[in-house]
Chains A and B, each alone.
Chain A
Amino acid sequence: MNRFVSVEDVSIEFNSRGGRFLALRDINLQIAKGEFVTLIGHSGCGKSTLLNLVAGLLDPTRGVLLCNNREIAGPGPERAVVFQNHSLLPWLTCFQNVHLAVERVFGGKEDRSALNARTEAALELVGLNHAMHKQPHEISGGMKQRVGIARALAMEPQVLLMDEPFGALDALTRAHLQDELMKIVSRTASTVIMVTHDVDEAVLLADRIVMMTNGPAATIGEIVDVGLARPRDRLALANDPQYHAVRARVLEFLYKRHQRPAA
C-alpha cells in the first residue's frame, strides 16, 4: 500500500493550567493516494487535532507526519482545509474568496484570465456560479460551505482536509452536499481526510473509517474498511447488508466499547 499521507508514532501535548495535557498518543495512520478517510469519535477525542496536525496548523510533540514523502513542517496550500465554520472572509465576495486562494497557488505561473477561469470553474464545480459576486452574508449556510469547498478544491491540493464541513447544516442540505462531494471527489480523484461525528456520513463517504478512542490520551481504536462499490447511492445503500454491517460496527465501537465519557 502506498503511503501518500503517513502519520508515524505521533503524540501531541498541550500546555494547560493543570500542567501538560496529553491529547493524542501513538497515532499511526497511512493513507493512500486517492483514498477517502473519515475520522470519527466522540467530541473531545482529538479528531480535529489530528486533522490540524496533518494540516500543519499544529506541531506534534513526538513523532512525524509525512505527505508525499515530505515532512509536514507547517500549513501549506497543497493540504487545503475546509473549515468547520467555512471561514470565508466576509468583506470579499465568493469569487474573491476563491480567487485569493487561486492567486496564491497559481499566481506565479498563470495570467489573470487563467486565474479568473480557474476561480469560476471551482465555483461552477460546487454549483455556485450564479452567486459568484455575492458576499458571504448574502447566501445560506450550505452555500457558504460550498464556497469553502470550492476554495479548497481550486488550489488543486494533494490532500483535502475537511473538519466537520457539514456539521452546522440541516439534514437535507447536508445530504445534498454529501452527494455533491462524492461526485466532485470521484471527478478529481482527490485524497480526502474528513472529520465527522455522523456515522451515516462516515459510512457513506469513506473508503476507510478511522475510529478514535476517548480522550485524554486518545488514539486510534480501530480502522474499518467500508468496501462499498462506487458510485454510491444513498437510497440503494439503505437496503445494502454490507452498509448495515459497517454501520453496526461503527455504532458498536462508539456506543458499546467506547461510550461517551460522562460529561
Chain B
Amino acid sequence: MTAALPTEEISDARLARAARWKIAYEWLAGAGRFMVFNILPGVTGLALFVLGWEILSQHNAQLPGPGKTLDAALVLFADPFYNNGPNDQGIGWNLLSSLQRVGIGFGLACLIGIPLGFMLGRFVVLSRMAAPIISLLRPVSPLAWLPIGLLVFQKADPAAIWVIFISSIWPVIINTAVGVTRVPQDYLNVARVLQLNEFRIMTRILLPATLPYVLTGVRLGLGVAWLVIVASEMLTGGSGIGFWVWDEWNNLNVEHIIIAIFVVGTVGLLLEQAIMLVAKRFTYE
C-alpha cells in the first residue's frame, strides 16, 4: 500500500485556484457584511415605517394606507405634465414652478449673500456693523416676511420669491463670513510676503480657501429654501407644490397630500446630494 502523495498535484495551478477562491470568498463575505450592516438596517427601517403607516390607516378611515397611496401615485405619475387650466395642472408642472421660485429666490440669495459674507469676513468694522441686524433678523419665521413682500411687490409670485430669498440668505452670509475669518494664517502670510493685491488675494487665496464653507452655507440655505417653499406657496397660491398640497386638501384628496410629502422629501434629498457632490470636488486634503 503506497501512500505516496501526488506532490506534483499541489502545483502552482492549484495554489492559484485556491487563491482565487479565497479572494472570491473574501469579496462575498465583505459584500455580505456590507449588506447586513449598511443596507439591511435602512431597508428594515423603511419596512417598519410602512408597516406602522398601514396599521395607523387600518384604525383611521381618513388616512389612506400605503397601497392606496401607491395606486394614486401610479395614476398621478402616469401623466405628470397635463394642463387643464391654471387650477388643474399635473404634479410635474407644479414641481417645476416650485423649483423655479426656489431657483430665483435662492439664486438671488447666493448672488447677494456670498459677496456680502466675504465683505463681512474681510472687514471687521463691517462685521460689527452687521452683527446686530443679522442676529435680530435671522431667527424671524420665514412667513413673517410675506406681508412685507406682498406690500412691496403687490403680487403673489414675487412675494413668494422674496420669502425664499430672505429666509435662505442668512446661512449663506454667515458661513461665508466665518469661512473667510478661518482662512489659515499660513496662506495669508504667503499673500503678505508676496504682497499680492486685493484682487489676487481674493481669487487665489480667499475664494478657494473659503469655498468649502460657502458650499456648506449654500447647502443649508437651499435646505431652508426648500422647507419654506411649501408654506409660502400655500399662502400665495397660483401654482407650485405647496399650492397643490393646499388644493388637494380642499379637494380632500389625502393620497395626493401624502404623495406630495414624499415628492418634496425626495427633491430636497436630491438637491442636498447634488451640492454635497460639488462640495466634495472642492475639498482639499
Contacts and interface: CB of A to CB of B under 8 A. Distances in A.
B199 interface: no
A136 B284 CA distance: 10
Which DSSP category, helix, strand, loop or mixed, fits chain B's interface?
A: helix
Given A85-B186, A87-B186, A75 B193 contact: yes
Contacts of A57: 189, 192-193
Interface in B147-179: none
A75 B187 contact: no
A55 B195 CA distance: 12
Interface residues of A, number: 24
Contacts of A87: 186-187, 189-190
B129 interface: no
Interface stretch (A23-31, A76-84, A201-209, A216-224): A76-84
Quick one: which of B189, B190, B208, B284 has the most chain A CB within 10 A? B190
A92 interface: yes
B193 A91 contact: no
B138 interface: no
A44 B196 CA distance: 31
Contacts of A90: 284-285
Contact of A77 (B186, B194, B204, B284): B194
Contacts, number: 52
A41 to B, nearest CB: 22
A104 B209 CA distance: 20
Given A83-B186, A137-B284, A137-B285, A89 B193 contact: no
Contacts of B194: 77, 100-101, 104-105, 155
Quick one: which of A76, A87, A101 has the most chain B CB within 10 A? A87
Nearest to A152: B193
A81 B193 contact: yes
Contact of A79 (B193, B200, B209): B193
A135 B194 CA distance: 20
A146 B83 CA distance: 66
B205 interface: yes
Contact of A55 (B186, B193, B208): B193
Given A75-B193, A81-B189, A81-B193, 16 more contacts: A57-B189, A75-B192, A77-B195, A79-B193, A83-B189, A83-B190, A85-B186, A87-B186, A89-B190, A89-B204, A90-B285, A91-B208, A91-B284, A104-B200, A105-B194, A155-B194
The 4 lowest CB-CB distance pairs between A and B, nearest first, are A90-B284, A91-B208, A87-B186, A75-B192
